[in-house]
Structure 1
Amino acid sequence: MTRQTLSAAAALALLLLGGTACAAPPAEVATVRPALETGPGMPDTAEDGDADDPAVWLHPTDPAKSLVITAVKDAGLRVYDLQGRLVQRIDPAPAGADGLAGRYNNVDVAYGLALPGGGAMDVAVASDRGRDRIMVWRIDPAAQGVPLTDVTDPEQPQVFPTRRAADGSGEVPNPATDQHSAYGLTTWKGPDGHRAIVAQRNEARLVEHRLVVNADGTVGHERLRHWDFPYSHRGQDLTIESETDPALDWAAQFEGLAVDQERGMLFAGQEDVGLWRIDLTTGKADDKPFYETRGSAKSSFNVEESRVVRDVEGLTLYYGPDGSGYLLASSQGDAHGDEKAPDPSGLDDTFAVFERGGENRYLGSFRIVAADGVDGVQECDGAEVVSFGLPGFPNGLLVVQDGYNDDLNDMSGEPSATNFKYVDWQAVAGSFKEPLMVTPGAWDPRKGAAR
C-alpha cells in the first residue's frame, strides 16, 4: 500500500481551517448483530481464565454435534456446542520443576492426521505460551461429554530453542522462562502431512513444524523452516516500548495466522505493522506487507488511508467456490483500558474484510454491536469463520472473542470478564452495501477442497 495525496475535499477542509489538520472523519463501518454467546464467561474457575482464540470443528456425520474449541490462556481450553453451552473444560498443564505452567494462547483444528497403524484422527492443536510447546488433543466424534483427549508427546522439543540477539547479530539461547515462546498458531495440510505454523512472542519470527504421530499415538513435532521479518517499518523502530503512551508503544511480534488450504498461502498479522503473505508451496514471503495498519500519528509510520488500526489480531478465511471468498482481520485498536489511544476515525473494535484471492483487495469493515440481550464485541483477539451450514447457522458461522463481556467496568482497566460471540454469516454478508457471498457447503475441510 502506498501513501496517497490529500483528496480535494480534504485539501479544502485544511484551507478552511487555516491549514491546521482536523480530526479524521468517521470511517464507514457496517453494524452486525450477534446471535448468541458462550457461557459461563471467563474466568469460570479459580484460574485466571481469559478467552482468546476459537476454532470450529465440524462433525463428520452430524453437523449438530460440531464443536467450538477455544483457548483461554491460564485456564486451558474450553469446548462449547453450537448453542454456546460448555461441553468440556480442559485445565492447563501444571507447573513443572522450572515453575512454568501451561498457558494456551491460540488453537486450531487439523482434520485427518494419519495414524501409524492406519486410519486417521482429527486433532485440536494449541500453542502453549507458558512452556513453549505445541499441545495436541484427539477429537472423538463418538465421545459423550468428553470429546477431547490429550495426546501431546511429553518428550517434545522446545518450539523456539533460540531467538534473535537484541542487537541483531545472530542467535542466542531462548529459555522458556523468558517467554519468547509459542504464541500465534495455525495448521495446514502440507505435501507430506500436517504442519503447525507458530509465531514467536516478542519476536518477528514464524516457524513451521511438521506434526509427527508416534507409535503410541502421541503427537510431537519436528522443525522444518522459519521466516524472519524486519524489526523496523517506515522508519519506526518496532522494539520501542512506552509505559505511558500507547501511541509510542511498539512490538514486532505476529499473532493472527490463517492458511488458505487450497492455495497453500499463509496470511500473517504482524500486530503493529499489518498483513503479510507467505507462499508455503515455495517458502517465499512477500518483501512487504500487502496491507498496513494505520500506524501512529506520532510516528514516521503513519498511514491515514488504512482501514486497520494497531493492533491487528485474529485472521480467518471464508471459503467460497472456485477460489473465491474473504479474509477477515480483527482491527482491535486501543480504545479501552487505563491508557487509551482511540483511533480518530472510529476503527477500533472492528473487523476488516478483504478478498481471499488476487491482491486481497480491501472491501469494507464491520463491528458487532449489542442486540437481543447479547453485548457487543470489543478488543477481539481471535476469530473463526466457517462457510458451512450448521444447525442454527444455515448460512455459516462466525465465532469471535469478546475482550469485554457484558461491557463491564465501563471497559476501563483490566476486563473482569471475557467470552465468545456467535454470529450468523448472513448478518455479516448482508450488512455491506454490496452484500458479500453466502455459499454454505462450498468448502469441505476434510477433503481440503471446494465441493
Structure 2
Amino acid sequence: MTRLPFPAAPVLALLLLAGVACAAPVAPVATVQPSLETAPGLPDTPDEADADDPAVWLHPTDPARSLIITAVKDAGLRVYDLQGRLVQRVEAARAGADGLPGRYNNVDVAYGLALPGGGVMDVAVASDRGRDRIMVWRIDPNSAATPLADVTDPEQPRVFPTRRAPDGSGEIANPAADQRSAYGLTTWKGPDGHRVIVAQRKEARLVEHRLVVNPDGTVGHVRLRHWDFPYSHRGQSLTAEDDHDPARDWQPQFEGLVVDQERGILFAGQEDVGLWRVNLTTGTADAAPFHETRGSTRSPFDNRASRVARDVEGLALYYGPEGTGYLVASSQGDAHGDEKAPDPEGLDDTFAVFERGGDNRYLGSFRIVAGGGVDGVQECDGAEIVSYALPGFPNGLMVVQDGYNDDLNGLSGEPEATNFKYVDWKAIAGSFDPALMVTPQAWTPRPTP
C-alpha cells in the first residue's frame, strides 16, 4: 500500500482505502523573498539561452570564490559568482556531421575526481540532450575569469543508444535525432569512483554510468546499470498525449534527480507521477513513489491528498547533522501558458519540503514571491541547496531557476526572459512553524583529506 504523504487520522485512512476523495488539513503555503538574482537576464546572446538547472561549486580554500554553474540549454552553460554576476559563458557544442547541436539540460558538480598521474580535479558534469552525451568540464580554482575548461572525451558512447519498444517487447534503436536522449542528471561518489545518473527524455528509464578519466585527462563514461519504471500509474497511461488539454496530457519521463551522498539514496522525480527512491547500494528501487503528484481531476489518477502539482521538477537536499535535513521539490504545476490547468488549491509554483530521512514525511510548502526589487519564481525547473556558510549567505543558500524573469509577457507560455534566484536558507526555515533547522557547516560535499 502506498504510504500517506503526511500523518492522518484512522478515519481518513479508511476513507482513502475506500476510494473516497478527501484531504488532510495542511498548513497554508508559506512565502519567502529572494535575496538577489543573476544578471544579465537570459537570453544574453543571440543563442536561445533558457535557464534550467543550477549547481553550486564550493571553492577549496576561499568560500567567497565559490561558483554557481548553470545549464541554459541551447546556449550552453553560464557561471555566476555569489553576487549573481556573470563569470563565464560556455557555448554549447555546435552541430557536427549529424546536424545535431548541443543542448545542455541539467548540470551537477563532482569533487575530487582522481587523475591517472595522481592528484584530483573537481568537475562540472552536464547532460547534452541535443547529442545524447555527458559533457564534463574541469574546474580551475585558480582561474577567476574562465574557471571551466572542457575535458569531455570526444569518443564517448551515446548515453541512450536504445529505448523501450512501444509494446514493451524489448529494446529498439534510438536515433539521437529523436531526442529521447540524456535529460535529468545528478552525480554521486560510488564505491568505485564517481558516477552519473541520467534520465531518458520521454521514457521511464534511469541509467547509471561511471566516469572514466583517460590518460590524456579527458573524461568519458561506461554504463553500469539502469532502472525501468511503469508506463502507467493508477489506471492512467503515461504515454497519452493531448496538445490542447494539459489535464489529459501525460509523460513517463523523470528529470529532477538528487543523491543523498551519505546514505546512497537517489531521489528521482517522475514529472507526472511523483517522487521515487532508489537504494544505490543494493540497486533496488521502491515499488511505488513515496509521494505522488496530485495527478489530474480529469484522470483515474486523481490524488487530492498530495501537496505536489505535476510537473514535479527540481530536487535539492539540505544536509543537517547525523542524517537529518530536508528534501525540497519544485511543484511546478501548469498555471501558465496558452493552455492552462491551474491547481485548484494553488500549489502551482511552490516548493514542497520533506524530511530527508525515514519515510520522508511531508512538512509543508513555500512559495518565492517578489521582494526587495527582485521578482518571484514561476515554473521552476531546477534547484540546488548548500547547507554551508557562504559570504552573504551565512545560514546556507538555495538557488532556483525562474521560468519567467520579471514576470514578462503575462506569464503566457512564451517567457521573454529567464534567470536564477538566490534565497537565504534561514528565510525559508523561518517561514515554517515550527521553523526548519539551520545548521551551516554541518556537512560539506567536498571530501576531507
Please report the TM-score for the alignment, with normalisation by the length of structure 2.
Answer: 0.95
Q: CA deviation at 1:28?
A: 1.1
Whether 2:182 is the aligned partner of 1:182: answer: yes
Alpha-carbon distance in structure 2 between the residues aligned to 1:2 and 1:258: 21
Aligned to 2:293: 293
Q: CA deviation at 1:142?
A: 0.4
Q: CA deviation at 1:27?
A: 6.7
Alpha-carbon distance in structure 1 between the residues aligned to 2:204 and 2:295: 17
Aligned to 1:147: 147
Whether 2:396 is the aligned partner of 1:416: answer: no
Change (3 A) 1:342 1:53: same
**Counterpart contact for 2:22–2:305, Cα < 8 Å:** no
Q: CA deviation at 1:144?
A: 2.5
> 2:104 is aligned with what amino acid?
Y
Q: CA deviation at 1:342?
A: 0.2
> 2:259 is aligned with what amino acid?
V
**Counterpart contact for 2:24–2:305, Cα < 8 Å:** no
Look up the SS of the partner of 1:123 in the other structure. strand
Aligned to 1:215: 215
Aligned to 2:383: 383
May I ask how many residue pairs the two structures share in their alignment? 438
List structure 1 runs of 4+ shifted beyond 2 angstroms: 1-8, 21-27
Alpha-carbon distance in structure 2 between the residues aligned to 1:23 and 1:264: 32
Structure 1: 5+ residue runs without aligned partners? 12-20
Q: Show the 5 A alignment for 1:86-101.
A: 86-101=86-101
Q: CA deviation at 1:444?
A: 1.7
Alpha-carbon distance in structure 2 between the residues aligned to 1:27 and 1:413: 30
Change (3 A) 1:6 1:333: farther
Look up the SS of the partner of 2:374 in the other structure. coil
**Counterpart contact for 1:381–1:403, Cα < 8 Å:** yes
Change (3 A) 1:445 1:24: closer
Whether 2:121 is the aligned partner of 1:125: answer: no
Alpha-carbon distance in structure 2 between the residues aligned to 1:294 and 1:168: 27
1:260-279 CA-partner distances (Å, limit 9, x unpaired): 00000000000000000000
Alpha-carbon distance in structure 1 between the residues aligned to 2:208 and 2:22: 45
1:107-166 CA-partner distances (Å, limit 9, x unpaired): 000000000000000000000000000000000000130000000000000000100001
Alpha-carbon distance in structure 1 between the residues aligned to 2:244 and 2:440: 47
Change (3 A) 1:231 1:138: same
Report % sequence identity: 79
Q: CA deviation at 1:167?
A: 1.0
Change (3 A) 1:327 1:25: closer
**Counterpart contact for 2:47–2:75, Cα < 8 Å:** yes
Look up the SS of the partner of 1:247 in the other structure. helix
Q: Show the 5 A alignment for 1:7-406.
A: 28-406=28-406
1:283-310 CA-partner distances (Å, limit 9, x unpaired): 0000110110000000110110100010
Q: CA deviation at 1:413?
A: 2.5
> 1:242 is aligned with what amino acid?
D
**Counterpart contact for 1:23–1:344, Cα < 8 Å:** no
Look up the SS of the partner of 1:429 in the other structure. helix
Structure 2: 5+ residue runs without aligned partners? 16-20
**Counterpart contact for 1:262–1:448, Cα < 8 Å:** no
Alpha-carbon distance in structure 2 between the residues aligned to 1:337 and 1:23: 28
Look up the SS of the partner of 2:247 in the other structure. helix
> 1:36 is aligned with what amino acid?
L
Look up the SS of the partner of 2:436 in the other structure. coil
Alpha-carbon distance in structure 1 between the residues aligned to 2:346 and 2:11: 20
Alpha-carbon distance in structure 2 between the residues aligned to 1:150 and 1:321: 35
Q: CA deviation at 1:23?
A: 12
Alpha-carbon distance in structure 2 between the residues aligned to 1:23 and 1:413: 31
Alpha-carbon distance in structure 2 between the residues aligned to 1:370 and 1:26: 24
Alpha-carbon distance in structure 1 between the residues aligned to 2:24 and 2:177: 43
**Counterpart contact for 2:23–2:305, Cα < 8 Å:** no
> 1:311 is aligned with what amino acid?
D
**Counterpart contact for 1:316–1:327, Cα < 8 Å:** yes
> 2:30 is aligned with what amino acid?
A
Look up the SS of the partner of 1:427 in the other structure. helix
Q: CA deviation at 1:22?
A: 12
Q: CA deviation at 1:25?
A: 9.7
| RMSD across aligned positions (CA) | 1.9
> 1:207 is aligned with what amino acid?
V
Look up the SS of the partner of 2:407 in the other structure. helix
**Counterpart contact for 1:295–1:309, Cα < 8 Å:** yes
Change (3 A) 1:407 1:295: same
1:156-186 CA-partner distances (Å, limit 9, x unpaired): 0000010000111110001101100000000
Q: CA deviation at 1:7?
A: 7.8
